[in-house]
Structure 1
């Protein structure tokens, strides 16, 4: 899972397009159409950096590190008009028939994103649903701090400017939520009830113990002592006199004005215009035209298949009890429990060494950008799941797998391998780092993200554990299946809640009975689906799509199918909507057939158990 700040910023991605030319066009085809396309792409990127300075920080563009985005309702109205203007110009100034195949794909994806972005901005939820226990200023700002550079006095001055900008961001949030109160778009209660406690982690008596003071505890010794002292003093004053009052104001609003009007039933169909919004979210998050009914049925079938595999694996261990007793044993036996956070980190680092050594068997090229493994900050709490923080395009910041070393009884060792494969390599880090290094693509394309592609790839990466040799016992393999089955269950539960009238309790009961997850874990999962409708659909839909492409390519190429080349083909165009990925893979298949037609028969490929 991508971290909270990343998710909030990626929401802005749906407003803007991050797709550039796939390859430099031959000189003969570098005509006015391509020039116009490139010009609009470059202009759009610069617009986005100005509009989303947090996103600029994330990708390594530090020109706007002293600013926070304006996400007020008025600003979103302006962004809607500007997005529509970009789309109008694109359709008027670029003649797609004159583009080569690669640029035509870029054009089609650009149109897709501008249309999707404009559609998202037209829904009231975009302007009003700005705060929950999963995302919001109180969570995003501390994670943003982790992505800022802190090497020079200017870096620290930028941070102080962002701290001073925080009250304005709070006020814009309050404006958005008050609009939501007026028009009936208020965050689901079970999620909102957790927000005051989250804000409290930033409201500490001694500001030097605040997570927001962390950069000032590590001032570079190269800075003159008077400068270090002045920066630290200014930070303390700003946190005490500017930031803390703003956060208290936000907390008081949530408790006194917002929570009393929050709905107990958070199904989107209960909101004004909610059915249309959910239909849009399904299209946006899956990048397909699948209907909720089709997705629901797919989830039912996948849950049934995976549960059968889990029970067969359970029997292979010699366990004599039922499924529930097996899961209870896995969650309590001392052999699967860790002593402390240091042991957790050491174990993850051992997994990393084993996986890194095996990656060349599955990938023809590996990214240069390194990744690290670290504990999440304590203020994020025991309920925060592990997540990935992307590196910077200029290589100045590594990618990070953030592991939660709190409440270790909730984190048995048998699920660690699959979790690592998802968040680090060959999952999020390998995919995003590889995209950042595709220097023939513009930054828009290199830093793009789609849930169905990015999370679908990360879930697919979990299934590579057999081929990578990390599922060395049936318990680790069971952990992989358990992680996959709850992604499949999401297809059923998310659509059940928002389309088919399921209650929260019904969703919790159904998911608990089938997945082997603890009820408290399931409750947190279900509440997530209320807060981010349809977002959870992208994982399993994307994974099934990528696995299906692999199987079709193998069947078509027979003995000439090379899994290493297939994986690079999926990765080396950057993130794509699934329909565009299909177009690209059809072209790749034709190229592979041409390259191998003299030496390989086709149609005789099979899929090994290790690759499933």
Structure 2
């Protein structure tokens, strides 16, 4: 997703170069901000591009860590003021102001590409303003998305935070000081959550505590936050190294470790006793309405929770039938549940050591890469590497995830594999997982999006889970056509992963809208898949922590497949699969309705 997680300027010369207003069909309009008096006259396209550019710059000021991730290093010394009243007010004003400004621009006067961008921009501001009405800031962290873990990763030297100069090192120390303040404010917000009965389920709090305890060491040099000092560049002078070492050691010892200790103590002794016994969002104040909003915002649809639940039940039944066909094909004697048990337990289906699993994925990468040119005109310039999930977070991390490459090309994408429990990583599930997380799944969609040069910045770096996860699940389907599933066991792995996404529709809605318990959700998944129980537990607890997110995979995939089928039928022999993939991947991440609009426009143009 992982997340998350896991989001501006079009060069005017590209779109407007050499074109007069009459040639582009643009109407004259005022500056991007109608409230600012100015005699400058702009076309609608110029006004929209300026607005999108200004919004992106303003959002980076408000979210300095986000700026670092998108390659803007102006705020690398800042943590940001998230959770403060000032921040909440500024975020509201940002969304309100830019929604008003974009409404003042004539959409009909924009090019088709900018009309799509305009629709995305308006959609984002509207959803953000609705999201503000729910008290998400009362639950500022969970076991799946943790600011503490994110900061450890940033400080590892292998993420977006640069550690090349002395200034880089002092920037990070300053950002850590902001993080220390955040740990205190987070406790204040959770206190407000306790008073408002907006708290995490008890089991999720129990998962957070060990993550925090892992950061509590007796010596600063043992802290994961000390990692930058172990990687001091050789170009630094002896004096610079000594000074930075002393500064980091003192800060970790006197400020950071005490702050983390206090946060851990708060979770253990204050928050845990007040955590709720219920597992779903329905139990929170206005929880069902809140969950419907989360379901719609994650899927970028207006589907009701009940409709999503029914789609899930239908898909689970269909995939179970396909799985049974595989059981018969391989000649397994026994029913489907016995087949599940065999695939989940027999030694030949698993690696004996962690490195063997990583090496297996590296070999798959080479195999898949050979086929990709037959299905894509546009492919990412950035490469990706395969790495195991870090030890400190492997017990609660997902089975696999993807991190985007550096925007400037200095760091490849990362396909993370969780090697903690090898019984949760069957050999028969490797092909589909690689297609989903790496190429042509998340790596293609996210890396290509970052590399686009002719769309506003918010499109390059923003995202919608339904699009991104829907594409990754579509990439698994594409693996059939690529010949990746000729082995029936690997095809079963594809069905197993698709089953996971179908079960999510049932379980996520069950937990948060229908009163299901954690145990009920776990049993449902055990009954309908061969997943390892440890994996199922991690999945269910993930849905408890980030409601609605898991709905987006299957909803997005079904929409992309429907649009492809529609285009194939409409264009017949004119249908070009590579061109269809170009259309999906070359505008950034799109809400479902905007993606549908784009494909319809492409089909009409292709017919003509």
Kept in 2: contact 1:376–1:405 (CA 8 A):
yes
Selected match of 2:448 from 424, 430, 434:
434
For 1:510 and 1:537, locate their aligned partners in 2 and report how far apart those are by CA, in whole Å.
16
The structural deviation recorded for 1:53 is 1.2
Structure 2 match to 1:352: 365
The structural deviation recorded for 1:167 is 1.1
Q: Does 1:278 align with 2:291?
A: yes
Greater CA deviation, 301-310 or 152-161? 152-161
**Secondary structure at 1:141's aligned position in 2?**
helix
Structure 2 match to 1:65: 76
Q: Does 1:244 align with 2:257?
A: yes
Kept in 2: contact 1:70–1:172 (CA 8 A):
no
Structure 2 match to 1:556: 570
Structure 2 match to 1:82: 94
Structure 2 match to 1:105: 116
> TM-score, normalization: structure 2?
0.92
Structure 2 match to 1:604: none
For 1:299 and 1:51, locate their aligned partners in 2 and report how far apart those are by CA, in whole Å.
38
Structure 2 match to 1:176: 189
Kept in 2: contact 1:72–1:175 (CA 8 A):
no
Structure 2 match to 1:584: 598
Selected match of 1:384 from 397, 406, 418:
397
For 1:372 and 1:59, locate their aligned partners in 2 and report how far apart those are by CA, in whole Å.
20
Shift in CA distance, 211/65, structure 1 to aligned 2, threshold 3 Å: same
Greater CA deviation, 326-335 or 315-324? 326-335
Question: CA deviation digits over 1:291-335, x for unaligned, max 9?
Answer: 111111110110000011011101111110122222222222222
Structure 2 match to 1:49: 60
**Secondary structure at 1:175's aligned position in 2?**
helix
For 2:351 and 2:534, locate their aligned partners in 1 and report how far apart those are by CA, in whole Å.
20
Kept in 2: contact 1:71–1:172 (CA 8 A):
no
Kept in 2: contact 1:268–1:274 (CA 8 A):
yes
Q: For 1:561-572, what aligned pairs fall within 5 Å after superposition?
A: 561-572=575-586
For 1:308 and 1:354, locate their aligned partners in 2 and report how far apart those are by CA, in whole Å.
29
Shift in CA distance, 365/105, structure 1 to aligned 2, threshold 3 Å: closer
Structure 1 match to 2:495: 481
For 1:27 and 1:223, locate their aligned partners in 2 and report how far apart those are by CA, in whole Å.
54
Count of matched residue pairs: 582
**Secondary structure at 2:15's aligned position in 1?**
coil
Question: CA deviation digits over 1:326-367, x for unaligned, max 9?
Answer: 222222222222132221221111111111111011111211
Greater CA deviation, 459-468 or 416-425? 459-468
Kept in 1: contact 2:49–2:456 (CA 8 A):
no
Q: Does 1:136 align with 2:146?
A: yes
For 2:197 and 2:607, locate their aligned partners in 1 and report how far apart those are by CA, in whole Å.
56
Q: Does 1:2 align with 2:2?
A: yes
Structure 2, unmatched stretches of 5+, are 30-43
Structure 2 match to 1:526: 540
For 1:362 and 1:115, locate their aligned partners in 2 and report how far apart those are by CA, in whole Å.
36
For 1:187 and 1:138, locate their aligned partners in 2 and report how far apart those are by CA, in whole Å.
17
Greater CA deviation, 529-538 or 66-75? 66-75
Kept in 2: contact 1:366–1:434 (CA 8 A):
yes
**Secondary structure at 2:345's aligned position in 1?**
coil
The structural deviation recorded for 1:20 is 7.0
Selected match of 2:48 from 32, 37, 58:
37
Q: For 1:24-423, what aligned pairs fall within 5 Å after superposition?
A: 24-25=15-16, 26-28=19-21, 29=24, 31-32=28-29, 33-74=44-85, 75-92=87-104, 94-124=105-135, 126-145=136-155, 146-385=159-398, 386-423=400-437
The structural deviation recorded for 1:192 is 1.1
Kept in 2: contact 1:491–1:536 (CA 8 A):
yes
The structural deviation recorded for 1:423 is 1.0
Shift in CA distance, 19/123, structure 1 to aligned 2, threshold 3 Å: farther
For 1:41 and 1:129, locate their aligned partners in 2 and report how far apart those are by CA, in whole Å.
31
Kept in 2: contact 1:213–1:235 (CA 8 A):
yes
Kept in 2: contact 1:391–1:397 (CA 8 A):
yes
Kept in 2: contact 1:187–1:263 (CA 8 A):
yes
Shift in CA distance, 21/76, structure 1 to aligned 2, threshold 3 Å: farther
**Secondary structure at 2:415's aligned position in 1?**
strand
For 2:217 and 2:441, locate their aligned partners in 1 and report how far apart those are by CA, in whole Å.
36
Question: CA deviation digits over 1:4-43, x for unaligned, max 9?
Answer: 5x34xxxxx6xxxx89799725542354322221222111
Greater CA deviation, 370-379 or 565-574? 370-379
For 2:66 and 2:428, locate their aligned partners in 1 and report how far apart those are by CA, in whole Å.
35
Aligned-residue Cα RMSD (Å) equals: 1.8
The structural deviation recorded for 1:226 is 2.4
For 1:175 and 1:118, locate their aligned partners in 2 and report how far apart those are by CA, in whole Å.
24
The structural deviation recorded for 1:387 is 1.0
**Secondary structure at 2:276's aligned position in 1?**
coil
Question: CA deviation digits over 1:135-164, x for unaligned, max 9?
Answer: 122222123332212222222221122222
Question: CA deviation digits over 1:97-147, x for unaligned, max 9?
Answer: 3323322222222111101111111211x2211121111222221233322
The structural deviation recorded for 1:73 is 4.5
Structure 2 match to 1:601: none
Kept in 2: contact 1:507–1:526 (CA 8 A):
yes
Question: CA deviation digits over 1:180-210, x for unaligned, max 9?
Answer: 1111110111111111100112112233232
Kept in 1: contact 2:510–2:521 (CA 8 A):
yes
For 1:64 and 1:375, locate their aligned partners in 2 and report how far apart those are by CA, in whole Å.
30
**Secondary structure at 1:402's aligned position in 2?**
strand
